Amino acid sequence: MTARAPWPQSLPVLLALVGQTGWLYEKDLLHWWWGEAYSLLLRWLPRLEPGELSAPECRTLRKLLRLNPQYEDLQVAILLALGTARDVKARRVAIKLVRRSPHERVREAARDCLLELGMGRGAGH
């Protein structure tokens, strides 16, 4: 068994690792780290305050949003975090999710994200 590296102790460090290495973008999400990273993201994302995410962190979250559609809870948390961060580049992906997501909770989070970005309740329809 190989030794595991210590886990990041903050969301910025975790997102920097993801953004620099792409290690959560791999097709095989059965690696030992996915469960822990997923748990950390779900724990940290809802606690974000406006302005806490940097542009590279928002970009990493948008990539995770597109590449992991099967994780409904994670999509909801990411959308709400991007709305809180006022990430205007999230607008395009949020509109797509309002229209196409099979999950009602994801569609509602995408609408909330669009509201945070200053777009009306009818955005995406």
Q: Domains of the chain: which residue ranges?
A: 30-116
- Tell me the per-residue pLDDT of 46-97, one tens digit each, with 9 for 90 and over: 998 888 899 989 998 998 888 777 889 999 999 999 999 999 999 999 999 9
Q: What is the pLDDT of residue 36?
A: 77
How far apart are the C-alpha atoms of 3 and 117, rounded to whole Å?
43
The least confident of 17-31, 64-78, 99-113 is 17-31
Residue 122 has what pLDDT?
Answer: 53
